[in-house]
Structures are given as structure tokens and as C-alpha cells.
A and B are shown apart, each in its own frame.
Chain A
Amino acid sequence: MNTLKLLAVMVLTLTLSAFTAITDEDGYKIGDVATDFSLENIDGKMVSLSDFKDAKGFIVVFTCNTCPYAVAYEDRVEALNKKYADKGYPVIAIMPNNTDVKPGDNMEAMKARAKAKGFTFPYLMDKGQKIYPQYGATKTPHVYLLEKTKKGNVVKYIGAIDDNYKDASEVKTKYVENAVDALLKGKEIEVKETRAIGCTIKV
């Protein structure tokens, strides 16, 4: 009888803790498999991660035109793509904002910005805002580094690009570069998650 009671309590505790875990879950954690998508690029074509047959992974950056932090990082996002696309880690930029709220982020504005800045990476519109909540992005810019594996694109790093939004020349730690370099060398990523201030994604 006592064992039965104990068992019941154990089951109850487990169930409860399972529920808490579910409610606490907001987007991806390190080690989760990230969803693929099919989103419209600034050239009008639809882009999916599965299109990149030779990629070893992806530097997914949720970013936009209108956030001063995102703007501060534009050149550095472009530099990441230049450095790592050929090594198998292209940048995939996704604009997550509701363009009714932020017309400055609409497709026309995205095209204009990409042209002016000479973006060489896909700059996709999260139309319908279905993708960013799955990733758990809360702000722009917000980086998810994915590694292509047999079970899918596994999240290896979440957070900021580096540790100085103000001045690229004053950066001490390049979080994303360090993480990609580690993956390329088959080493463990030292800093897997970082925080940075950004603009709330507009819903």
C-alpha cells in the first residue's frame, strides 16, 4: 500500500514537472533541432535551408531595417557571410517584424536596404510571423547558429554577434565567429548562449 502511494506521488511529481518544463519552454534551446522554412527572399524567390545542399550549417540572424541595434550590426552580418559562406556556414537573415506596425521593414524597404548595403546573403521575410516564435527569437538582432546533422539542423549557439554593439573595432569577444570556428574544427563551442539588448519583434 505504502509503495503504491509512493508510486502515485512519484508519477504525480513527474507529470507536474513535465508540465512545468513544457510551459517554461519558449523557443529553442541549445541542442534542439530547428525547423526549416520556406520564406520569400528579396529577389522574390522562396528560400529554404534544405536548398543549401553543400552547407555544413547556417548562421540564422533575425534582423530588420528599423532597429538601431540591427543597423549597427549590418556590416558585421555581411562580414560574417563573406567569411563563412564559402566555409559552409552561410548567413540567412530573417526579418520577423509585422510590417503593418513597421512599414520601414516591408519587402520594398528590405530590398532597398539590401541593395544600398550590398548584402550578399538571403534577406527573408517571415511573412505571417510563423517562424520566429518557433525559434524563440524575441528581438533584432538575434542569432541562431545551426549545424547540419543527420537528425536535422541542430541549434549550437543562441545570442549576440559580439560583445560591443557600439564599435566593431572595440570588440573583445566575437561570439558567433568563435562558435562557427569551433564547429569547423570539430571542437566544443565555449560560449553557447549570450544576451544582448535589441528591439522587440513587432507583432
Chain B
Amino acid sequence: MQASTSVTAELPAAAPRADRRRRAAAGGTAGLKRAHYTNSRLPFLLLLPQLLVLLLFFFIPAVRALVQAFVITDPFGTTVHFVWFDNFRALLASPEYRSSVWVTLWFTLAQSVLTLSVAAVLAFATDRVIRGRGLYRSIVLLPYAIAPVIAGILWAFMFNAHVGPLTYVLKALGVAWDPTRNGFDAFLLVTFAAAWKHICYDYIFLVAALLAVPASLLEAAAVDGAGPGLRFFKIALPMIGPTVFFLLVMNFVYGFFETFAIIDAVTKGGPGGATMILVYKVYQDGFVHIDLGSSAAQSVLLMIFAVILTMLQFRYVERNVNYDV
């Protein structure tokens, strides 16, 4: 939870960075901007509320988690032993933790790709829906208004092995569907539920980005005989690159941290740990089992993973993103 604040807080950095490049390209406008701030206290005052929020909800808890990660303690705080890296060592040696890391990576990746591709198709199609476009948009956006827990319960019920209406459909099609026993089925279920919940978020951004793509370019391509698929991949997609990149980062953050409620409602990390993502494990070990040392060590590692992943994305994916369109 704490780490999520950090990453979300870092994200807007993508935009200023783009600004900087643009400014650098334009040549020397930064000097002009500086001249407008004669009062040097004002920027700090304006930053203060946000810094205060960060301090209270991120830095203080993060430091406490860091301290907690190096001790084992009685939940009541009456007995505390400093154990150096024992909590980390125990985690890295544990097959359950390693399996949770893999589950998280696969889950986040699958969910991100699924969300983004479905949202892209829906967004690109928006333009081609002539009649009832408003209705179409509202329907696509609807899942965003549903609380994650409710969404999770809906999916769990629809695909329940015994009474789920869609289970009957699947069984009629000859699929032996049983997410309560089969870990892979459960994994698919939470992936789809998480993606379904998040598609609308990506959709809004993509629709807005696509609106900014000059219609003349698309029309010119159409005149030249490019079909909708070609127009999308060759013209629209490169032009909305920055948005797609931003969404990719956001989807990862979503998959890492915000899918907690869905996991809790659909599978509770089961069966047999098949959907035990890291953030749910932090909660399980810390809150349900009150193993604070291990839980703190896990949140520290989780924070590190999230930072590394985001950095990798900026390093390798952002290279191919062109902001100057």
C-alpha cells in the first residue's frame, strides 16, 4: 500500500520530463520561466501540502517498515529482537515466496496486456460507432463505477464452479472449469476480473489520445487504401505512444497493488497459492497472521520490485516513445 503511493507519486514525472525535452528542443525557454519566480518561498509553500501528505502517508510508514523488517517482534511490541537480514533471508529461501513473485509477474503482465489491448480496440472502434456512441461509451465506462470488491464478488459468482451461470456455458462447451480446485482456472479468473475492472481506465485515456490524432492523417491513409487495422498500427498507435506508455506503467502499478480487493473477493490467494500475489501475501502475513517482521520485509522487497520495474519500463520502453508529435 505504502509503495503504491510512491509509484503513483512518481508517475506524473513522465509529463514534466517530456516538457523538459520539448523545452530543450525549443531552446532556452527555461531561463525565461525562471525569471517569473522572484519570490523563492512561493514554490516551496505550494509544494508543502503535497510533501506533507507524502511525509505522513509514505515516508514515515516506509521508514517504519524498513525498521520493522530487521526485527522479529511480538505483535504487542513487548518483545523485540534485532535479527539483521534474517527476515529477508527466510523470504528468499521460501518456495512459497518465490512462487508468489512469479504469480505476481505473470498476473501483472497478463492483466496489463489484456487490459491495454482490449481498451485499444474499444477506443479505436469508438470512432466507427456512429449511432449510439454515447451509450457505447457509457457501457464501456460502467465497470469503473463498480467497487473492486463488488466486481470481484460478481466474477466469483458468475464463474462459481457449482452455481455460476457462465460455468454452465463453459461446461456445455466441454471446458472442465473449476477455479476452486484448479489453480490455473483461478489465475485466469482473477486476471480477467482485474482486466475487466481496469479496461475503462485505459479506455478513457486512449479515447482522449486518439482524439488528438489529426483526422487528416487517418483520412489520407484511408484514401491511400489502408484498412482500419493498418491505420491503427501505422498511424494512430505511434502518435499516442506517450499515452500508451503511461498506461503501461499505470497498469503495472494497478496489477501490483490495486488488485488486492479483487483477489480478496475472488480467490483469497488460493487455491494452493495459485493467485497469491505479493501485496496479498503482505496482507495475509502481516494482518491475518501478525508476522510483522516478515510482512515488513515483504513490503520493502515489494517496494524495490516496483521501483525496479518502473525504472526498467522508463529505460527500455520509453526509448521507443516519441513525445514530439
Same complex? no
